[in-house]
Amino acid sequence: MSAISGRTAVAGIIGWPVEQSRSPAIHNAAFAATGLDWIYLAFPVRPGDAPRAVAGMRALGIKGLNVTMPHKQAVIDALDSLTPDAERAGAVNTIISDGEALIGDNTDGRGFLRALATDGGFEPSGKSALVLGAGGAARAVVAALSDAGATVRLAARRPEQASTLAGALGVEPLPFEPGALADAVAFATLIVNATPLGSAGESPPFPAEALAGGHVVVDLVYHPETTPLVRAARERGAQAFNGLGMLVHQAALSFEAWTGVAAPIDAMKAAIS
């Protein structure tokens, strides 16, 4: 990154909490690698204040924002338009400044599919997937997998939330119970945890014995880098990944939307390795 001046473009991320975000390291490494006069900052925005943060983006001329929990749906009404991916997911993780307009996009699903392909060599078409969760990230992942030709089942700790999302995206909802989840794991090739479970060391919400060598497991939690689910899957011979691959690839898509420059993936990965 060059010296900060009055010409330096500003991008960032809003969330609560947000101080643990790896996005500043990823994006600032990308700006440095490409020689762009940009800087990326983390902005803590309290629940309920997302529309005010979007208004601040307009007023301050911020070039781009990423959006993380709990604001992925709360920002929508403050934007001028949504991309098809954001509309399909019902959530926004990227805001693009286009002249006077602010456009909401969702790069989570495309980033997830890119990470699956590059890290795991996995092609979803014709496969069966189980997704745990019904928040913004889960919405994007379910939509992307379904659109890519996978048969998706969904389970969340709030049954009504799972049922609503499953109905909106045309997938099958399941009870968030160990027995039902174990049966679903046995049926699936791909298992995705899009809940916070594991971030505090919690065990998987189904018996670990349900996992086997033919599974591909992705835990979108990336702190700790090896969650109990990832560890259990690897111990049983499955391919297992944390959420850092998705984080980098969704960030790359945001970077490209803001700057029009190809993202330096290797530099972005190195920033968090």
Tokens of 76: 């929508």
Query: For the chain, what percent of residues have pLDDT higher than 70?
Result: 99
Confidence of residue 142 (pLDDT cuts 50, 70, 90): very high
Peptide bond into 124 cis (omega under 30): no
State pLDDT tens for residues 184-241.
Answer: 999 999 999 999 999 999 999 999 999 999 999 999 998 899 999 999 999 999 999 9
Instruction: Give pLDDT, residue 175.
Output: 96
The string of pLDDT tens digits covering residues 21-51 is 999 999 999 999 999 999 999 999 999 999 9
With b meaning 16 or more CB within 10 Å and e meaning fewer, what string describes 151-161? bbbbbbeeeeb
CB 67 within 8 A of CB 92: yes
Per-residue model confidence (pLDDT) at position 136: 86
Q: What is the pTM of this model?
A: 0.93
Q: Using alpha carbons, select from 118, 185, 113 the residue that is nearest to residue 150.
A: 113
Q: Which one-letter amino acid corresponds to residue 213? A: G
Inter-CA distances, 28 with 146, 164, 247, Å: 33, 38, 14
Q: What is the pLDDT of residue 115?
A: 96
- What integer best gives the mean pLDDT of the chain? 96
C-alpha pair distances (Å), 251 with each of 179, 184, 269:
36, 31, 10
Q: Are 170 and 146 in contact (CB under 8 A)?
A: yes
Q: Where do the domains of the chain lie, and which CATH numbers do they carry?
A: 9-106+247-270 (3.40.50.10860), 109-242 (3.40.50.720)
In this structure, the strands spanning 94-98 and 64-67 are: antiparallel
- Max Cα-Cα span within the chain: 59
What pLDDT sits at residue 24? Answer: 98
72 flagged as catalytic: yes
**Residue 2 in this model has a pLDDT that exceeds 70:** no
57 pLDDT higher than 70: yes
Is the model's pLDDT at 1 over the cut of 60?
no
The count of other CB atoms within 10 Å of the CB of residue 123 is: 13
> Cis ω on the peptide bond leading into residue 70 (within 30° of 0)?
yes
- Sheet containing strand 81-82, strands side by side: 38-44, 9-15, 64-67, 94-98, 101-105, 81-82
CA angle 91, 66, 108 (to 5 degrees): 50
Taking CA atoms, 154 is separated from 26, 133, 189, 193, in Å, by 30, 7, 14, 10
